[in-house]
């Protein structure tokens, strides 16, 4: 039971995504019912998990995909904070998208990738290790690009190219930092901080800048934010999804995870990285 529930959270978005690919354009009522029903079901499941975590229940699913590396899903307090936010906003954005598009064309494709995007966001929240986080982080990039270019006009396609250029460069920096860190410290799980004692300060500082810089692209930290205004060429529900539910929040969540659950706030302060990060965050808020 405790192992199945994290998978059930992912399935709440993955199953409707698959179904939407095969539902005919004319069956809008069925498609809308599946989307709203799955969003409500996920929100109810989040409430159940919140009660369980408050009682001390540990919900975790672990699958080895290569020797020594696991796809790890774990429900903790921080994961629930992000999942609760995304689940509620998913429901609201789904209702908005249904009303916004009406009887427009290509809606099966839109809602399929829309749900895949939410599934990826849920996977990011539940990831219990760096490698698990990176897998879902890249799935988020692949599932949001079709939403950005949904209109298919030149402006949307240009926005899609800009989005891919920024996010793929950021992902490359993040992957390089993860491989460098895990190559020296071993696989990193968020429940236990990485063994960083044997690494020099300059190495830790460079890895930190690579990973936080890569995450900062999706978080739209200045000066890595130029893709976001261009992405507003997408339909309004996609813009709401990028801001409130998925991409920007996922990047910010990843930065929080990396600082607190990989390095630790004390180590970040010792390396002198806290002040530059705070300055960048303040510019972004402004």
Sequence spans of domains, the chain: 4-285
pLDDT in tens, 86-128: 888 888 888 888 888 877 778 888 889 989 988 999 999 999 8
Distance CA 276, CA 266 (A): 15
Q: How far is CA 269 from CA 28, 245, 264, in A?
A: 53, 30, 9
What's the predicted TM-score (pTM) here? 0.88
In whole angstroms, what is the distance from residue 19 CA to residue 224 CA? 36
Instruction: State the pLDDT at residue 277.
Output: 58
Residue 286: what pLDDT?
Answer: 43
pLDDT in tens, 53-77: 888 888 888 888 777 778 889 888 8
Contact between 39 and 87 (Cβ < 8 Å) = yes
Q: What is the maximum span of the chain, computed from C-alpha positions, in angstroms?
A: 61
Query: What sign does the dihedral 280-281-284-286 (CA atoms) show?
Result: negative
SS3 state of residue 286: coil
Phi, psi (deg, nearest 5) at residue 151? -65, -30
- In the chain, count of helices (H) and strands (E)? 12, 2
Residue owning tokens 């989005």: 163
Instruction: Give Cα separations from 28 to 91, 115, 163, 243, 271 (angstroms).
Output: 17, 16, 30, 26, 55
Q: How do residues 255-285 score in pLDDT, each as one tens digit? A: 888 888 888 777 777 777 665 555 555 544 4
Closest alpha carbon to 38 in 105, 122, 103: 122
DSSP output for 210-228: HHHHHHHHHTT-TTS-THH
Is residue 183 predicted with pLDDT exceeding 80?
Answer: yes
What DSSP designation does 258 have?
Answer: I
Mean model confidence pLDDT for the chain: 83
């Amino acid at each position: 039971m405790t192992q199945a529930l994290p998978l059930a959270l992912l399935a709440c978005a993955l199953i409707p995504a698959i179904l939407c690919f095969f539902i005919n354009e004319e069956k809008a009522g069925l498609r809308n019912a599946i989307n709203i029903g799955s969003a409500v079901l996920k929100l109810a499941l989040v409430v159940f998990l919140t009660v369980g975590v408050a009682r001390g229940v540990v919900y975790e699913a672990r699958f080895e995909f290569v020797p020594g590396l696991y796809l790890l899903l774990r429900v903790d307090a921080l994961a629930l904070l992000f999942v609760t936010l995304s689940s509620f906003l998913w429901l609201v954005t789904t209702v908005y998208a249904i009303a916004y598009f009406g009887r427009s064309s290509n809606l099966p494709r839109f809602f399929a990738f829309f749900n895949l995007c939410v599934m990826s966001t849920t996977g990011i929240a539940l990831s219990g290790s760096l490698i698990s986080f990176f897998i879902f982080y890249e799935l988020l990039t692949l599932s949001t690009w079709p939403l950005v270019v949904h209109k298919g006009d030149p402006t949307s396609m240009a926005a899609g190219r800009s989005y891919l250029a920024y996010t793929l460069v950021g992902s490359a920096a993040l992957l390089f930092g993860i491989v460098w860190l895990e190559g020296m410290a071993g696989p990193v799980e968020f429940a236990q901080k990485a063994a960083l004692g044997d690494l020099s300060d300059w190495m830790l500082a460079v890895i930190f800048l690579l990973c936080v810089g890569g995450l900062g692209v999706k978080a739209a930290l200045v000066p890595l934010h130029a893709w976001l205004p261009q992405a507003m060429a997408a339909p309004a529900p996609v813009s709401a999804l990028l801001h409130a539910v998925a991409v920007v929040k996922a990047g910010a969540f990843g930065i929080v995870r990396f600082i607190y659950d990989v390095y630790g706030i004390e180590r970040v302060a010792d390396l002198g990285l806290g002040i530059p990060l705070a300055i960048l965050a303040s510019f972004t808020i402004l």
